[in-house]
Structure 1
Amino acid sequence: MKEDSRTNAFSTFGGVFTPCVLTILGVIMFLRFGYVVGQAGLFATLIIVLGSKLITTLTTLSLSAIATNTRVEGGGAYFLISRSLGPEFGGAIGLVFFAAQALSVAMYVIGFTEALTAILPGEIPPTLIATLTNLTVAVCVWVGAGWTIKIQFVILACVVVSLGSFFTGTVARFDPHLIAENWSTGFTADESFWTIFALFFPAVTGIMAGANMSGDLRDPARSIPRGTIAAIIVTMLVYGAMAIFLAGSATGADLIENNLIVGEVSAFPVLITLGVFAATLSSALGSMMGAPRILQSLAKDRVFHSLTPFGESRDGEPRKAILATALIAQIGIVAADLNTIAPLITMAFLVTYGLLNLATFYESITKNPSYRPQFLYCNWLTSLCGAVGCAIVMLLIDWRWALVASCLVGALHYYLTRANLDTDWGDINSGLLFERTRRNLLKLEDSLYHPKNWRPFVLALSGTGFSRPHLVVFASWLTRETGMMLLGQVIAGEFEDRSERLSNQESILHSLVKEQQLVAFPAVVIASDYTAGVQALVQCQGLGRVRPNVVLMGCPLSSDRMKIFCRLLRNLEGLDRSVVVLRQTEEPSGEAIAPAGTVDVWWRGRTNGELMVLLAHLMLSHDAWRGRQLRLLRVVQSESAIDEVKSHLDGLLRNARISGKTKVVVSENAPTAIQTTSRDAAFVYLGLATPDEEEDSQFLSRIETLVGDLPRVAFVRSAGGVKLES
């Protein structure tokens, strides 16, 4: 069935303009606006009206931009924020916004009860009237949104008629002297500009009434901007005119003390009573329609699993969510009064509006190609001003409640972040990260390199499907806290024959990285042979200065493979990359369990020694190696050199600000000294010299002679760029 054929596909006037106007021209206008004028005076009241409208106008511009950039479904502000800032912010603000909308029902019902109690004979408990009213509103919405919208047209006519009665009466009573008397502020002991602002602000929060019906609109992208902006303009004129005529029709004392002053200055007070009933009921209906749809959208997205049952609907209506909204409203009716609820709602709405503006601001500055709003009257500056304005107003109204509201949203965001939500919609987080990364890469490209900033970017040749797990574990020890790791794999053959395998191997590596919680990136290439593939990986991986600077390989244990290995070492030296060759004789294991013992670094000068010491230090910084000790060792042939060499080694560690012990071993046979001294070591670092071509056949025997049966040895050949003193 096409969307336009739905019976509840509402137009701009019926689905957006009317709900917005009726929610804005509600209980505050009829029962508290006189109090606002009496306390703040005409001038400050106009400032409050303009300031409130400025915030809601900026928010509406942001709302319109997002609404015309994406296919808007049910959920209103929650849907728009979650699809921009992500499910964590969306879920946090969605829950808060739902609670605020539900409490708004209580506020409007309490306002209706105040007006009804004033004309009813006898003493009927106000709580009973409010409860019955809340139940009636819930039943109306339960019947269906289409029927409720039709009721709102009748209510709109009642509000228009009551406003006509008000302006007719105040024109006849208008006294310029009263304008002068009521021009300046007249705050009583407990009130101030910002407390009155907080009392009035809920009157203008109805801008979301249309957006909350987004899932029931025929054309949300067209209706939300036009209907909401039109409602803001119309209601701003109404409130401005009402402030002027109230100030010219009653004394300040009457405005403050008489909550029904709007009716008393009207031509036909009974019509004002009708307007109060109509406005409060319509606002309650609007909030009762909007809040369940927010809860339903939250539940459908499974942001909070405990809310999942509220995602169900019958005949398109969120029945269970309606019941939950009515229950929260009833709690508000029993626990609070109008003056208490209004500031709480103000904070919730300001947080929501602030995040909505922030979402549009981020969408603008990330320059995401997918951000193409058809609404052209919003940019990063208007969105930023809206977000900052909301934050400032929150702090000025009551910094304590602002802190509570912010902490509540922050706590919900933290909870959802820890929940690792798996959503299938895009948000701006990746776009924001991309833009930040792009700028940082460009800055890094223009900056001068200094050894102080050297970090390990290890290309680990991990083999097919982690066939060399010990290399992955070792690379993780070196890079997890400070560096980066690429898991390199070479697929030998022609591209035409191996392209499908390339995609499969990349997927396998991605899955393994996620399963083992590695801080790593997969890198797979197709090449004619292994050597060419490794060279391609080294040359092509990375971007600008951010590229692999250390190649980690396993040590071949056969003469045939050693020839290929030696040729590769020479090529990597030509490519100016450091090389670490891991020789591990014990059975390779993928478990990141550090063996017991010291980490021995055998010093033979700065050429390879500085990188060896730094890598050993990085490895010992990993949690798996806590408590192990670094030893800096050197072989000398004469005892007379012990003191000088030990002093030199101590100075190296001291200047490098690295903890460790030093030891000088006297021996004329270096291999024997190394094997004897480090036989109980957990790890041994040795320098590596690239062999000449004629030495390839003897290279394996030279290595085996040097290390014997030491179980874990890392051979290091440094390409430079490291200074321990940096």
Structure 2
Amino acid sequence: MATSSGTNENQHQTIASYDRSSNHVKFSDDNQNSSSRRNSIIQDDLSSTSRQGSLSSTEKSGRFVVVKSSEVQDVNDSDSINNTNPLVEHERIPLQTSQESDGSSKFNESIYEERDHRPRTVLDQLYNYKGGIVPNAAEAEKPPLDQQKSANLGTIFGVYLPCVQNIFGVIVFIRLFWLIGIAGALQTLLIVVICSSCTLLTAISMAAIATNGIVPAGGAYFMISRSLGPEFGGAVGILFYLGNTFAASMYIVGAVEIIVKYMCPEKCRLFGDDVEKPSVAFNHYRIYGTILLLLIGGCVLLGIRFVTRIAPLSLFAVLISIVAIYAGVIKSSFSPPDLPICLVGLNPSHLIKSNILHNDVRRYCHGNRTCMEGDERILCPLYSFICNKTTSTLCTSNGTIDNVRIEAGVPGLKNWQLTENLFSHYRREGEIERDIKGDSTFEVVAQEITTFLILVGIYFPSVTGIMAGSNRSGDLRDPSRSIPRGTIAAILTTSAIYLSNVIFLASCTHGSLLRDKFGDSINKQLVVAVLAWPSKWVIMVGAFCSTVGAGLQTLTGAPRLLQAVAKDDLIPILRPLAKSYRGEPVPALFLTLFICECGILIADVDKLTALLSMFFLLCYGFVNLACALQTILKAPSWRPRFRFYHWTLSVVGLFLCISIMFIASWYFALVAMLIAIVIYKFIEYKGAEKEWGDGIRGLSMSAARYALFRVDEAEPHTKNWRPQLLAFVNAQRNDENGTFVLHHTRILNFLYQLKAGRGLVVTASILEGDYLDTHQHIEPVRALLKAGLAQAKVQGFAEVLAAKDAEDGISALIQTEGLGGLRPNTIVLCWPMNWKSDLNSYTADAFIRTIAIAEARQCAVVVPKNIDNFPDNKDIQDGTIDIWWIIHDGGLLFLIAFLLKRNKVWSRCRLRLFTVAQLEDNSVEMKKELEQYMYQLRIETEVDVVEMADQEISAYAHERTLKLAERVKLLKDLKLADKELQLQAIGFERRTSKPQIFMETMTNNNQQQQRKNSNEETTKKNQYTFTPSQLESLKKNVTESSMRKMHSAVRLNQAIRERSRDAKLVLINLPSPPTKQSSLAAYSYMEYVDVLTEGLDRLLLMRGSGREVITIFS
């Protein structure tokens, strides 16, 4: 601990701060002015007596008072010690130094200051209840005072009630009874179990993710994006946003349906006499829905504070409505409601619309032809519609209707009623029973086709809303405890209510009435509302308030979700939506209102439910995938507090989500998946730069590890050989500004043009100097290499190595680069054009040594010469690619030329093969053999044989060391059949060989001994090696042998230039380097290659390792 020095008033002070999470007083040094410290909100003036009571013992350390943590009493015992958002706000107080004279210890101020806190009542919690609305980033960072007071919610008010409110929606009021009537009680129970199991398994997965660290605002989007990466996160974030937006459309259309259909069917009619027609009803929904959307949008624009005040009303409406349904069911058991329905016929039964009977079922539901209307006898309305206006078989010859009866729509809880409603009654449009058509003018008929799969899609939105608790994780006292318990409890509660509602409604309601979707047989009344007690208006008003409240909350949360995606900057087009005005995401809100209006224009609740089900199911599926992935990978950071999960549960949940998607609507499922794929690929194409430690990257690492173990480090089979490239790129430092610049960047374009090989690509740069002096430049140079690769569209890796000199760095990379069986086998480096000017340096020596190291490492070498003349990726070439096959290297020249031709830059070029024959060779036969060989290689090539004297090419002559027997042995190693051996060997006894080292002896011997006349001696002398002589000067010893070598290079160069002057690219074998390293040998070698390739615009020098064997077999 620091001590103060002297008696200066501005002496060094120690600051004490109390940390409630660890129950310790922490000390830190503070030299800043005390005015920079924030003022406390409420200051406790502790008396000396209270100080002695709470801080009874102290102990000195140096010149400062040390306070034991056990002596600091927490006055707010009601709060948990692990609270991450404490209600007591503590001030950092400077401790006064002890006085040396008397040793007494005094405090200037109290150890901590706390804000006044009183226990909150249930009413206060309901008042501050926000219904699961997610604050945006600005609100999360700077919450207002009243939100600070309420940001300590427990499980009930923080998670359980918001989830219950969001799960209960419009479907439970206007569609659940209809599902029972169509699917039957058994299949409806199955639908509830399937959908609830899906959300329950998803909740378990979500609980594991939510308890694996702090989940800030963003809810499901945050969890998925941080678990599966930015690509999945962006795709799922947009889909989750669309799901919430279309959910708002469904809520608004559902609220309008309650108004138009049930609350004021006559007074709310705008146009059209027959509002029962779907087209007329949908037009009403569109108009009223747009008006309601504008009203809700205006409320959202007023701010989140206004919206949060409506949340308790919506919650209260939901709870009262559910209680009213149960009260009505209980009441029906001993006092059923007076709800008669009119049925005609026995098998099948025709349910008559009440408006046909003038909404007086008891008076006009009979089979007589006439009836009394006051003192006048009139034609009965039922008989008029059935017998006079239609040719129905229900009419009898004596002028009556058979089997007309009045039955109770709600007979009460009866066992026999449940038995009748157990099984399904699926129908097509216009049918009253399966394959039995009805007449929609007077009876209730099906308005759309119904199947089990369709009903699953319609019902599923009634179990969504499970993310409401996780969305508010920042407001919870203990998220890791509240989110799992509250969410799972809400799902179990709502599922139990749904299951009990299915049984009760099936037990107390007539089956024909349950199939009456819009209450046509009971004077346009809502079936659930008629059943409820004490009044049907409890359900209608409650359902309306519930749906409007849910829509309001959804339209408040959806723009914030979109703003969160925009702020992550995953999709550039969404950047303007990241802005806020007065703390509200206004741009995102306007886009949300527009999309919501598009959903309202659909105007069909059933279609909207199927559409938004896809978006929610995809979101839930990815939550399960994230949990399963993290569990299987067993990442060290995966330590959720919630223990009751297993990866198999997540996999089952994922399977259920995908299954329900295709069960509900396969075409909507494909549309949702297509949207997700497009967004995923778009983010991937733009290059997501976010690193969130996601599971997909962990999966990639695990897959890469597994694949590397599978790849054998042994030499690959001939058919599997492909160039694995290690290219050296020169990065030089700019002396003016100190930045690094890449030189000869066209080599990156060359790597792109070789991408058809589908092999490994590594670019490397060497920083000369000690690592401690250059390590700060490694990352900038690596970033420069990556930018160059990206610009050239090369998928590869960038490596930067600090070494004392370039030669050592290149040697180290050639030896060590790669992992396991994935190692470079082809070295790409540019020809040093300035080797003559750098003669005194190690440029030439380093280049030759690099070739020798690559040869020792059994790597092929590709040397582009005049690399700056090579085309870029947009410069399409049209001409020829000439291959000068002088040394038969097993096929590397062919393979590189073939791969280049598969790229768009070289695709229009023709391949031409030139080989050199001596005068005694049969050129015609050789050409035929080569044409046949190229045909068998499936490479379209023009073949030409160039005849040259033996003395002219002896320094570059083809070797015959690989005899036919060795060739047969090689083919046997490849496990080819005998017939294939014969075919492969035809005509190649003289032509197939391994690349050899061609040597020239530059000695000090007598010139007369070097001028022998025999061809054997001439050939022997010209099979030279670049070996240093004992001469001291490079230019004083130009022997006749070296002159002959240069003459051979000149003659070959003339032949190449005569035939390949206009070629777009020339490929030629790279002569063997000298076996002994010296400046003299390096100079001779470099000069020889320069003479050999003089005048060629674009040139590829290649030297194989002997392992690149191109085969004619598949």
- TM normalised by structure 1 equals 0.90
Equivalents in 2 of 1:461, 1:93: separation in Å? Answer: 41
The aligned amino acid for 1:146 is T
Query: Equivalent of 2:857, from 575, 596, 608?
Result: 575
What is the aligned partner in structure 2 of residue 74 from structure 1?
217
The aligned amino acid for 1:251 is H
Per-residue deviation at 1:411? 3.5
Q: Alpha carbons of 1:532 and 1:368: their partners in 2 closer, same or farther (altered >3 Å)? A: same
Q: Alpha carbons of 1:250 and 1:423: their partners in 2 closer, same or farther (altered >3 Å)? A: same
Query: Equivalent of 2:703, from 407, 427, 436?
Result: 436
What is the aligned partner in structure 2 of residue 716 from structure 1?
1102
Question: Can you list the C-alpha shifts for 1:332-369, whole angstroms capped at 9, x where unaligned?
Answer: 44541333322222233223322333343444444444
Q: What is the SS of the residue equivalent to 1:678?
A: helix
What is the aligned partner in structure 2 of residue 408 from structure 1?
675
The aligned amino acid for 1:61 is I
Q: What is the SS of the residue equivalent to 1:658?
A: coil
What is the aligned partner in structure 1 of residue 817 from structure 2?
541
Per-residue deviation at 1:209? 3.1
Per-residue deviation at 1:387? 2.2
What is the aligned partner in structure 1 of residue 1089 from structure 2?
703
What is the aligned partner in structure 2 of residue 374 from structure 1?
641
What is the aligned partner in structure 1 of residue 450 from structure 2?
191
Alignment size in residue pairs? 724
- Contact between 2:723 and 2:757, CA under 8 Å: does it hold in 1? no
1:300 aligns with 2:576: no
What is the aligned partner in structure 2 of residue 169 from structure 1?
331
Q: What is the SS of the residue equivalent to 2:730?
A: coil
Larger mean Cα displacement after TM superposition, 303-312 or 444-453: 303-312
- Contact between 2:311 and 2:549, CA under 8 Å: does it hold in 1? no
What is the aligned partner in structure 1 of residue 171 from structure 2?
28
Equivalents in 1 of 2:614, 2:876: separation in Å? Answer: 52
Larger mean Cα displacement after TM superposition, 686-695 or 449-458: 686-695
What is the aligned partner in structure 2 of residue 692 from structure 1?
1075
What is the aligned partner in structure 2 of residue 631 from structure 1?
912
- Contact between 2:1067 and 2:1102, CA under 8 Å: does it hold in 1? no
Per-residue deviation at 1:242? 1.0
Q: Alpha carbons of 1:632 and 1:74: their partners in 2 closer, same or farther (altered >3 Å)? A: same
Equivalents in 2 of 1:48, 1:195: separation in Å? Answer: 11
What is the aligned partner in structure 1 of residue 925 from structure 2?
644
- Contact between 1:102 and 1:329, CA under 8 Å: does it hold in 2? yes
- Contact between 1:84 and 1:359, CA under 8 Å: does it hold in 2? yes
Equivalents in 1 of 2:1093, 2:558: separation in Å? Answer: 72
Q: Alpha carbons of 1:474 and 1:42: their partners in 2 closer, same or farther (altered >3 Å)? A: closer
Question: Can you list the C-alpha shifts for 1:656-681, whole angstroms capped at 9, x where unaligned?
Answer: 22221111111112345532332113
Equivalents in 2 of 1:54, 1:453: separation in Å? Answer: 48
Per-residue deviation at 1:51? 0.5
Question: Can you list the C-alpha shifts for 1:198-250, whole angstroms capped at 9, x where unaligned?
Answer: 22111111213334445665655544333221110000111111111111101
Larger mean Cα displacement after TM superposition, 185-194 or 247-256: 185-194
Equivalents in 1 of 2:607, 2:85: separation in Å? Answer: 42
What is the aligned partner in structure 1 of residue 29 from structure 2?
none
Q: What is the SS of the residue equivalent to 1:207?
A: coil
Per-residue deviation at 1:39? 1.2
Q: Alpha carbons of 1:577 and 1:160: their partners in 2 closer, same or farther (altered >3 Å)? A: same
1:232 aligns with 2:498: no
Query: Equivalent of 2:895, from 599, 614, 619?
Result: 614
Equivalents in 2 of 1:664, 1:623: separation in Å? Answer: 29
What is the aligned partner in structure 2 of residue 338 from structure 1?
605
Equivalents in 2 of 1:438, 1:554: separation in Å? Answer: 33
Q: Alpha carbons of 1:662 and 1:51: their partners in 2 closer, same or farther (altered >3 Å)? A: same
1:209 aligns with 2:447: no
Per-residue deviation at 1:525? 1.9
Equivalents in 1 of 2:746, 2:935: separation in Å? Answer: 32
- Contact between 2:746 and 2:868, CA under 8 Å: does it hold in 1? no
Larger mean Cα displacement after TM superposition, 315-324 or 673-682: 315-324
Q: Judging by fraction of residues, say which structure has more helix.
A: 1
- Contact between 1:472 and 1:590, CA under 8 Å: does it hold in 2? no
What is the aligned partner in structure 2 of residue 529 from structure 1?
805
What is the aligned partner in structure 1 of residue 1055 from structure 2?
677
Question: Can you list the C-alpha shifts for 1:74-132, whole angstroms capped at 9, x where unaligned?
Answer: 33333333333444443344334333323323333343444445344851246576566
Q: What is the SS of the residue equivalent to 2:712?
A: helix
Equivalents in 2 of 1:295, 1:232: separation in Å? Answer: 26
List alignment gaps of at least 5 residues for structure 2.
1-37, 39-83, 88-142, 270-283, 335-411, 429-448, 520-524, 732-740, 954-1048
- Contact between 1:155 and 1:282, CA under 8 Å: does it hold in 2? no
The aligned amino acid for 1:566 is I
Q: What is the SS of the residue equivalent to 1:624?
A: coil
Q: Alpha carbons of 1:673 and 1:387: their partners in 2 closer, same or farther (altered >3 Å)? A: farther
Equivalents in 2 of 1:605, 1:475: separation in Å? Answer: 24
Equivalents in 2 of 1:411, 1:461: separation in Å? Answer: 37
Matches within 5 A, 1:36-115: 36-69=179-212, 71-115=214-258
Per-residue deviation at 1:21? 0.9
What is the aligned partner in structure 2 of residue 245 from structure 1?
504
Question: Can you list the C-alpha shifts for 1:251-309, whole angstroms capped at 9, x where unaligned?
Answer: 11111214622233344234444543443344334423332322332333344555445
RMSD of the alignment, in Å?
A: 3.3
Q: Alpha carbons of 1:181 and 1:648: their partners in 2 closer, same or farther (altered >3 Å)? A: same
The aligned amino acid for 1:360 is C
Q: Which has the larger radius of gyration?
A: 2
Question: Can you list the C-alpha shifts for 1:615-648, whole angstroms capped at 9, x where unaligned?
Answer: 2222232222122222222222226520232133
Equivalents in 2 of 1:533, 1:379: separation in Å? Answer: 49
Matches within 5 A, 1:111-510: 111-116=254-259, 118-120=262-264, 122-125=266-269, 127=285, 134=293, 137-138=296-297, 141=300, 142-143=302-303, 144=305, 145-172=307-334, 173-189=412-428, 190-213=449-472, 220-257=479-516, 258=519, 260-270=526-536, 271-305=538-572, 307-313=574-580, 316-319=583-586, 321-322=588-589, 324-326=591-593, 328-333=595-600, 335-423=602-690, 425-445=692-712, 449-464=716-731, 465-469=741-745, 471-479=747-755, 481-510=757-786
Q: Alpha carbons of 1:456 and 1:425: their partners in 2 closer, same or farther (altered >3 Å)? A: same
Q: Alpha carbons of 1:170 and 1:140: their partners in 2 closer, same or farther (altered >3 Å)? A: farther
Q: Alpha carbons of 1:70 and 1:448: their partners in 2 closer, same or farther (altered >3 Å)? A: farther
Per-residue deviation at 1:70? 5.0
Larger mean Cα displacement after TM superposition, 409-418 or 611-620: 409-418
Question: Can you list the C-alpha shifts for 1:430-485, whole angstroms capped at 9, x where unaligned?
Answer: 33322222211111137872011111122222222433445444444334652333
Q: Alpha carbons of 1:41 and 1:708: their partners in 2 closer, same or farther (altered >3 Å)? A: closer
Give % identity. Answer: 31
What is the aligned partner in structure 1 of residue 63 from structure 2?
none
- Contact between 1:207 and 1:232, CA under 8 Å: does it hold in 2? yes
Equivalents in 1 of 2:241, 2:769: separation in Å? Answer: 58
Q: Alpha carbons of 1:129 and 1:632: their partners in 2 closer, same or farther (altered >3 Å)? A: closer
Q: What is the SS of the residue equivalent to 1:693?
A: coil
Equivalents in 2 of 1:634, 1:265: separation in Å? Answer: 97
Equivalents in 1 of 2:1086, 2:598: separation in Å? Answer: 80
Q: Alpha carbons of 1:217 and 1:132: their partners in 2 closer, same or farther (altered >3 Å)? A: farther
Per-residue deviation at 1:319? 4.8
List alignment gaps of at least 5 residues for structure 1.
none
Equivalents in 2 of 1:588, 1:333: separation in Å? Answer: 61
The aligned amino acid for 1:393 is I
Equivalents in 1 of 2:730, 2:587: separation in Å? Answer: 54
- Contact between 2:876 and 2:904, CA under 8 Å: does it hold in 1? no
The aligned amino acid for 2:160 is F
Equivalents in 2 of 1:322, 1:477: separation in Å? Answer: 47
Equivalents in 1 of 2:265, 2:854: separation in Å? Answer: 96
